[in-house]
Amino acid sequence: MSRQDTPAPGENAPERAHQDFSQSLSYGDYLRLDALKAAHQPITDAHDEHLFIAVHHVSEVWLALIVRELRAAMDLLDRGITDAPLKMLTRVVRAQEQLTNAWEVLKTMTPADYLLFRHAFGQASGFQSAGYRMVEFLLGNRQSVMLRPHEHRPDLHDPLHEALNGPSVYDLALRLLAARGLPVPAEVLGRDFTQKPVLNEEVLQAWLTVYRDTETYWDLYELAEKLLDVEDNFRRWRFNHLTTVERTIGFKAGSGGTSGAGYLRQALSTVLFPELWEVRTRL
Ligand code: HEM
């Protein structure tokens, strides 16, 4: 059969797809997959170091997306808009689920596998993850000491410093309560943002009003429940991290210099939105 006789491909045939990318962006060009793959650089020959790096990379990509969505939601909340941020916070919740699922893959690595490459990364630790710290700061879990590991990198340090000194997503929600005429004390609205929030009885009473009259305050009620979803998922991530750490390194100190599992266990008691948890007890 001559070339001319070749039957034209059917409408579902792969031959119909674009084949020549000498003049236009291909999939790999657009996603810069060469750069992505170039970042995957194990230091040892240990089989599991690939897994270790991949799970951290994937986690950082999700964290970056979460930061972007949180910032967009906060920008809208700051302008008094309550419906559109719900969509962004839902995306945060879904991305958190992906982050938490990543432990299932990592847990296939045994302590013996891990020890084959542990020496390679020295003092590096997720403790120094600027992406994770930004998520914590935006959600209100703040400690200025967490800025220190980033002092040598102004590009990472300065946005974190700015976030530490600005309102959290919860502070913006409290401003919305006040804007709707609910009594939120001035000292709470103008609090020192560098500190973690502490439970305030008047704020609790304001949320109780919202939860008792959901018809009037439906949007604030939905926002509160969405924030609770975010904190719920954050707790799951923390718990799964701790369990993975315990099964991998036991109670050895962390590469980042903390006590390890003890430090992570203490972090489990963090409460981001204190009144939203307490409101359940008081209803
Ligand atoms: C077997 C794997 C892992 C082990 C043994 C481990 C161990 C630890 C330890 C011991 C700490 C406490 C800080 C320190 O290093 O002294 C820590 C912190 C941290 N790790 Fe991991 N980790 C693992 C995987 C991951 C992964 C995949 C991520 C994903 C990003 C991650 C993110 C973090 C973050 C964000 C912190 C800081 C937590 C905080 O300050 O509350 N870790 N890790």
Query: 202: domain CATH number?
Result: 1.20.58.480
- Is 61 a residue whose pLDDT tops 70? yes
Top mutation candidate among 127, 238, 251, 266 for ligand 1, by most atoms within 8 Å of CB: 127
Q: Are 189 and 178 in contact (CB under 8 A)?
A: yes
Which pair of structure tokens corresponds to residue 22?
């000498």
Average the pLDDT over each of 12-16, 25-29, 48-52 and give the range with the smallest value.
12-16
- Classify residue 79: in a domain, yes or no: yes
Q: What mean pLDDT, rounded, does the chain reach?
A: 97
- Classify residue 12: in a domain, yes or no: no
The predicted model gives 119-142 an average pLDDT of 98
Per this entry, what is the length of the chain?
A: 283
- Classify residue 34: in a domain, yes or no: no
Percentage of residues of the chain with pLDDT beyond 70: 98
- Classify residue 137: in a domain, yes or no: yes
Which pair of structure tokens corresponds to residue 112?
């013996």
Q: Residues 201-252: pLDDT tens digits?
A: 999 999 999 999 999 999 999 999 999 999 999 999 999 999 999 999 999 9
Structural domain range at position 215 = 46-120+129-249+259-282
Ligand 1 site, CB within 6 A: 55-56, 59, 106, 114, 125-127, 129, 132, 241, 244-245, 248-249, 254-258, 260, 263-264, 267
Q: Residues 62-88: pLDDT tens digits?
A: 999 999 999 999 999 999 999 999 999
Report the chain's C-alpha Rg in angstroms: 24
Pick the atom of ligand 1 nearest to 127's CA: 37
Taking the centre of ligand 1 as the mean of its atom positions, its distance from the CA of residue 241, in whole angstroms, is 7
Residue nearest to atom 37 of ligand 1 (CA): 127
- Classify residue 33: in a domain, yes or no: no
- Classify residue 7: in a domain, yes or no: no
Per the structure, the count of domains in the chain is 1
- Classify residue 70: in a domain, yes or no: yes
Confidence of residue 3 (pLDDT cuts 50, 70, 90): low
Pick the atom of ligand 1 nearest to 103's CA: 27
**Amino acid letter, 203:** V
State residue 7's pLDDT score: 72
Q: Are 170 and 234 in contact (CB under 8 A)?
A: no
Q: What is d(CA 155, CA 97) in angstroms, rounded to the nearest whole number?
A: 28
